[in-house]
C-alpha cells in the first residue's frame, strides 16, 4: 500500500503519546522539531518527536514505549552520514546524551582500552586515545561522527572501527535492557540488528608511543583538510567505493565535479562529496545523487551504491 503525500506527512503521535512523552522526558522532548540543525548537511524536515535520552534506564523505557505503541523510531548520532527527507521523520528520533557521553581510557598491559558511551564524539575519543598511545587510532581521526554512528557504519579509512572493537552493548524494543552482542564487520556496515541502539562500546588498541601516535594523527588531519571540503555542510563520501576502485575517481571521470541541482553541488575538491551551498533541500541532493549515479552507470558501467543513509519522507516540490 502506498501513502499519499499528505498521509506521509501526518504525525504518527496522538495526543496521548505526546502527553506520555512529555511526562517521561520533561524539557527533553521536542515535537515537530526540524532535523536540519542536527545533521552535517543542514538538511531535513521535522521529526514528530525528538527525544534526548540521558541514561540506559531512560532508553529502555523509551524502547518499551515504542514497542507497546508500535511507533517507528530511529537514533541519530551527529547526523554526519544521513540525508533526512524534506518531509521529515514520522515517529520518534532519539538522541543520546548524559551517560552516553562518558569516556574512560586506561592502560592494560600492552593495550590501550577505551570505554565510551555511544554519543562520545570521534574527535574526543581519538584525541584521548592518542594521548595514551593507542596505535592505529589515526585511521579513525577526522571522522565527524559519534562512536555509536561510527560503529553502525563501521566507519574508518585504511582501518575501521570494527578492527578495534572488544565489546558492544546495545538496547532494542524487543530487548530493552543493555546487553552485549557479538558482531561481524564489513566495509561500511555490520551485522548489528536494524532495531538495535548501540549504548556503549569498548575498544582495544596496541600500545604505542603517544608522541608518535599524535604526530601521525595530526598528519592525517592536515591531509584531510587539504583534500576534503570540511568547512562546508556535507556528509562526507556519498557513495561506497566499488570493489577495486574509488567512487570519487569514477565521479570525476564523468566530469561531475561542480554539477549542481538547486543549492547542492558536487564538490570541486572531492568528487564524492556533495556540498550544501546554502539552502539545498533533500530533493536537490537526491536529484544530484541520482544524476551522478546514472552518469557513472552509463559511462563507466559501474552501479554506485549509497554510503549515506536516507531517512524519512522524501517529497516532490
Ligand atoms: C567531512 C566528513 C568526513 C567524513 N569522513 C569519513 C571517513 O573518513 N570515514 C567514514 O567511514 N565516514 C566518514 N564520514 C561519514 C560519517 O562521519 C561517519 O559515517 C560517522 O561514523 C557517522 O556517525 P554519526 O554519529 O554522524 O551517525 P549518523 O549520521 O547520525 O547516523 C548514521 C547511521 O547510524 C545510525 N546510528 C547512529 N547512532 C547510532 C547508535 N547509537 N546505535 C545504532 N545506530 C546508530 C543512524 O540511525 C544512521 O542509520 C565523514 C563525514 C563528513 C561530514
User: In order along the chain (317 residues), what is the average pLDDT of each group of 10 residues?
Assistant: 81 96 95 98 98 98 96 97 98 98 98 98 98 97 97 98 98 96 98 98 98 96 95 97 98 98 98 98 98 98 98 88
* Angle, CA 312 vertex, CA 48 and CA 228 arms, to 5°: 120
The answer to whether residue 234 is domain-embedded is no
10 Å Cβ neighbour count for 174?
9
Answer yes or no: do 206 and 108 share one domain. Answer: yes
139 lines ligand 1 (CB under 6 A): no
124 and 48 within one domain: no
Is the CB of 197 within 6 Å of ligand 1? yes
Residue 45 near residue 51, CB atoms below 8 Å: no
User: What's the first-to-final CA gap in the chain, in angstroms?
Assistant: 22
The number of helices, as runs of H, and strands, as runs of E, in the chain is 8, 17
What's the CA gap between 279 and 86, in Å, rounded?
12
Question: What pLDDT score was predicted for residue 177?
Answer: 97
Any bridge partners for residue 290, and if so which?
A: none
What's the pLDDT at 3?
75
Indicate whether 95 and 105 sit together in one domain.
Answer: no
pLDDT, residue 61, reads: 97
Query: CATH number of the domain that 283 lies in?
Result: 3.90.78.10
- Looking at residue 1, what is its pLDDT? 59
Task: Choose the final residue of a domain: 75, 99, 123.
Answer: 99
Angstrom CA distances, 283 to 97, 181, 186, 257, 295, stand at 30, 37, 30, 19, 18
Q: Are residues 204 and 289 in the same domain?
A: no
The catalytic residue positions are 188, 237, 307
Residues 306 and 303: their CA atoms lie apart, in Å, by 10
Regarding whether 106 and 22 lie in a shared domain, the answer is no
Q: Is residue 317 part of a domain?
A: no
**Residue 246: all three cell numbers together:** 574509488
DSSP, res 107: E
- Is 239 within a domain? no
136 and 163 share one domain: yes
**Domain tally for the chain?**
3
- Report the residue count for the chain: 317
> Which string of DSSP letters, residue by residue, matches 260-273?
EETTEEE-SS-TT-
Expressed in angstroms and rounded, the spacing between residue 231 Cα and the centre of ligand 1 is: 17
Cβ atoms 284, 277 nearer than 8 A: no
Q: Is 240 among the domain residues? A: no
Q: Is 143 in the pocket of ligand 1 (CB under 6 A)?
A: yes
Q: Which of 227, 260, 276 is the last residue of a domain?
A: 227
Predicted local confidence at residue 7, as pLDDT: 85
Quote the domain boundaries for residue 303. 247-311
Other Cβ atoms less than 10 A from the Cβ of 4: the count is 8
Closest residue by Cα to atom 27, ligand 1, is 149
Q: How many CB atoms lie within 10 A of CB 280?
A: 23
133 and 158 fall within a common domain: yes
The contacts of residue 85 (CB under 8 Å, 6+ apart) are: 44, 45, 282, 310, 311, 312, 313, 314, 315
Instruction: Give the pLDDT of residue 316.
Output: 80
Residue 242 lies in a domain: no
CA 303, distance to chain mean position in Å, is 23
pLDDT at 317 (0 to 100): 63
CA 212 to chain centre: 29
Amino acid at each position: 500500500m502506498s501513502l499519499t503525500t499528505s498521509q506521509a506527512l501526518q504525525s504518527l503521535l496522538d495526543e496521548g503519546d505526546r502527553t506520555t512523552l512529555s511526562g517521561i522526558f520533561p524539557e527533553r522532548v521536542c515535537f515537530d522539531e526540524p532535523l536540519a540543525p542536527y545533521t552535517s548537511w543542514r538538511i531535513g524536515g521535522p521529526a514528530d518527536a525528538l527525544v534526548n535520552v540521558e541514561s540506559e534506564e531512560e532508553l529502555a523505557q523509551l524502547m518499551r514505549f515504542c514497542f507497546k505503541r508500535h511507533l517507528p523510531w530511529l537514533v541519530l548520532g551527529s547526523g554526519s552520514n544521513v540525508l533526512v527527507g524534506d518531509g521529515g521523520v514520522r515517529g520518534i528520533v532519539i538522541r543520546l546524551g548524559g551517560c552516553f557521553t562518558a569516556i574512560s581510557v586506561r592502560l592494560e598491559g600492552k593495550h590501550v582500552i577505551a570505554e565510551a558511551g555511544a554519543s562520545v564524539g570521534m574527535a574526543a575519543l581519538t584525541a584521548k586515545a592518542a594521548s595514551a598511545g593507542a596505535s592505529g587510532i589515526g585511521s579513525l581521526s577526522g571522522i565527524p561522527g559519534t562512536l555509536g554512528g561510527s560503529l553502525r557504519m563501521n566507519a574508518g579509512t585504511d582501518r575501521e572501527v570494527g578492527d578495534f572493537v572488544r565489546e558492544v552493548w546495545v538496547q532494542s524494543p524487543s530487548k530493552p535492557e543493555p546487553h552485549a552482542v557479538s558482531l561481524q564487520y564489513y566495509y561500511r556496515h555490520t551485522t548489528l540488528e536494524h532495531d538495535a541502539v548501540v549504548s556503549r562500546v569498548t575498544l582495544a588498541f596496541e600500545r604505542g608511543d603517544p608522541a608518535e601516535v599524535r604526530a601521525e594523527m595530526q598528519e592525517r588531519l592536515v591531509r584531510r583538510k587539504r583534500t576534503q571540503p570540511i568547512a562546508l555542510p556535507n556528509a562526507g563520501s556519498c557513495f561506497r567505493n566499488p570493489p577495486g576502485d574509488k567512487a570519487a575517481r569514477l565521479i570525476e571521470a564523468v566530469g561531475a565535479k561542480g554539477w549542481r541541482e538547486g543549492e547542492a553541488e558536487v564538490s570541486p575538491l572531492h568528487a564524492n562529496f556533495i556540498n550544501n551551498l546554502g539552502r539545498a533541500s533533500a530533493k536537490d541532493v537526491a536529484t544530484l545523487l541520482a544524476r551522478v549515479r546514472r552518469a557513472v552507470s552509463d559511462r563507466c558501467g559501474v552501479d554506485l551504491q549509497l554510503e549515506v543513509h536516507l531517512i524519512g519522507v522524501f517529497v516532490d516540490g
